[in-house]
Each structure stands twice: as structure tokens, then as C-alpha cells.
Amino acid sequence: MLLHLGQSPTLVVSSVEAARKVLKTQDIAFVTRPFSTAAAALINGCRNVSFAPYDEHWRRKVQSLRRTREEEIALMIRKISSSPPLATVDLSGILYAFSNGLICRVVAGSCPAREVRTQRFQEAIDESTVMISGPRLEELFPSLAWVRRLPGADSRLMELAMKFDVLLDEIMTEHERRAGRREQAEEVDFLDHLLSADTAGDYAFSRDDLKAISLAMAELMKNPALMERTQKEVREVAGVRPTPTEDDVARMRYLRAVVKEVFRLHIPAPLLLPRESMEDTRVLGYDVPAGTRVFINAWAMATDPQWWEAPEDDFQFLPFGAARRMCPGINFALCMVELALAGLLYHFDWSLPADTAPEDLDMAVAPGIAIRRKAPLRLVAVPHSPSSAVLA
């Protein structure tokens, strides 16, 4: 479907055939991103992996840290275990803190002020998500770009960008101060590698993917039989281990299938991040001029019964995009969701509050660039006996 948002031609791709053309056959023609004023102000001039234009900077590889993942999950399990017996746990809040803490630690390491700093980042990220979620007036009407020169037009963006700069300056100063004094066995984070190489880059994953853990738990609570079967597999595979490992998760076929189904039903970004055509081209016989914004309606394809009767076919499952602009954090995101979910199911027996039936569980999601639950997920967690000694 070709339409105009203001003065900007926009192509919405909602069929598998069209997605194959855009994301595979003509991927190089649609590989770049449209300019975003908010992203340019808040994410270092659009140099973030997700919003960067297609160039040498974007091609940089990223890495993940297994030990850090396992330690952060253990911390989350201990937090849940410390709640009073049979008390309702705000699982959404705990998972939110877990994902933010994990990302901050992987990128910037541990620090005495970690909790306060993570909260500051969380508040800034929430505000930036709202700003980036929708196009600004001058992006829809390029002829009105002059409005940005008016006094105060970008004041909110600049204030938020300053918050990020202050936080990052604090972290950089801290790392530079302790450089050279680090013990050999001390944890080395991503920023240490960047500073030692005197280079710049960014980590290719998003906490939005980790929101799938909360959605997965909600789906399991709505389907007790599914919860029972998944939990049984987790505990059988992990056996008497203190906690499930990544090697264990690799053998949990049913749990991994549940995670994939959650990503199909609750795609992190239902329209993916927009692309932009770099040249005049044709898609399924229609002319698409250069500079056309392209939205991939992954949600429509993921819920189309025409394709989900034959799930082995290509291009019907696109929660992370595809081809050159596929989410570079796909492996990290899947690993974290699977490992965290396995830990929650292994260590605890879960139930809904007394006044909530499975069929009444609110599954509404909030609008935005990335999907999230509209209401916090509140559950009752009872420690599972094989793990109680480990958590003591």
C-alpha cells in the first residue's frame, strides 16, 4: 500500500510476497533508514546500530558476555525469593529492572552507584522512546524544516540529550580513572574494550526484546497446561543443577518453541523500524521512487492464517527483521529471553492473585515503537523446593 504521510511517500508492506521483495530480492535498495530528528538528537547523530544509515560504521560487530548474563539472572531470582511468602510480585517491574541492569552492566560494568544510575537511564530511555516513536512535523513536511530554527523548538530534545551526555560522561570518567589499575580477574565490560581500542560503537541489543519475558509469563499463566508442560521440561533438563545454564536451554526444545511463539504473537516492533528506498525501483509491478519510507507490517504477516498453516515457508516470521538490517542483537535477545524464562520456571511455582482467573488476565499492550504490556504483570511466586537450598 503506497500512501503519503504529509509530503513523504510511504510504502506499507503487509504481505509475504512484498516483504520478500523488499527484504531479500531488493534488500540493497531499501537498506538505509529515514532521517529521524529525535534519533539524531538522542542517539549520537543516528550512529546507534538500529537507526544508523547503511555505511561502514553500521557494519561493526558486537559481542555478548555469558558470565554477566548468568549473574544478572541469579540476582533477579534472589530478588523474587526475598519477597514475603505468598505475596504478589510485580514481575513486570522486576524484569524491567533486570533488563536495564543487564544492559548497563554489559556496556558500562558494575559500580557502587549502579541502582541510582540504572534508574536515571531508565527514566531517560522511557522519555526518549516516546519522542522517537512518532515522526515530527518537519519529517512529514520537509518544506517546514525551518520551524526547527525557532527558539525553543527542540528544547525538550536538547534537555534529554544533555541527560544522556551527563550520564555517559560520568561513566567514561569512571572508566578512564580506573584504567590501568584493574585486577586481571576483574570483569571487563564493553566500554573497557572501546576505550582500550580508542574507538566508538554501540551494543546491538535492546531491552524491548527482553519485554518478551513478561509477555511469555502472561501467556503461560493464561494457559495452565502449557505452563505445566514447559515447566516440566525445564526442570527435567536442568535436573539437580543450581540453576539452568545456556547449555541446558539449548536442549529445551519446547521452551524455545514457546519463546518463538511469543515473539510471533507479540512482535517487539510490529512495524519494525522504517526503511527508506535509496533509488527508484519496482515492487510487485509498482513504481517506488527514491526516498520512499517503507514500513514492514510484520504483525500482519505473523497473524495471517494463510502462512501459519505452513510455518516452514519463508518470510512469515519477522520479529527481528531480515537481511542486512536484521536486528544485530537477535542472538543476544533470544538467549536472554530463553535463559531468564527458564530460570523463572525452574526456581518458582507461579500463580495468579486470588481475585484473578486465567481467562481474565489483561493482555492489552500499550502503543509505541515497541510493544509492552499496558498493565504490570503481578503474580505470586512460591520457591520450588529443589532450588531453595541454593537461594538461601
Tell me if 327 is assigned to a ligand binding site: yes
User: String of b and e for 252-263 (b: at least 16 CB within 10 Å)?
Assistant: beebbebbbebb
- Return the pLDDT at 233: 97
- Return the pLDDT at 365: 75
Calculate the alpha carbon distances from 179 to 4, 103, 173, 191, 193 in Å: 52, 21, 10, 11, 11
Q: Render each residue's pLDDT in the chain as its tens digit; 392 residues.
A: 777 777 778 888 888 788 888 777 777 787 777 777 766 665 555 544 444 454 444 444 333 467 777 888 898 999 999 988 888 999 988 887 887 777 777 666 655 456 666 677 777 777 777 777 767 777 778 787 777 777 776 777 888 888 877 877 777 777 666 655 555 445 555 555 555 544 333 334 455 556 788 889 999 999 999 999 999 999 999 998 889 998 999 999 999 999 988 888 888 777 777 888 888 988 888 888 888 888 888 888 877 777 666 544 444 455 555 555 566 556 667 888 899 999 999 999 999 998 888 888 888 877 665 666 778 899 999 998 764 444 44
Instruction: Quote the strand ranges of the chain, DSSP E.
Output: 2-5, 8-13, 88-90, 275-276, 281-283, 286-288, 293-296, 348-351, 365-366, 372-373, 378-383
Residue found under cell 502472561: 218
User: Distance between CA atoms of 110 and 175, rounded to whole angstroms?
Assistant: 11
- Return the pLDDT at 201: 35
At the topology level of CATH, where does 2-391 sit?
Cytochrome p450 (1.10.630)
Model confidence pTM above 0.75: no
User: Distance between CA atoms of 299 and 265, rounded to whole angstroms?
Assistant: 8
User: Distance between CA atoms of 216 and 197, rounded to whole angstroms?
Assistant: 39
- Return the pLDDT at 176: 67
- Return the pLDDT at 118: 67
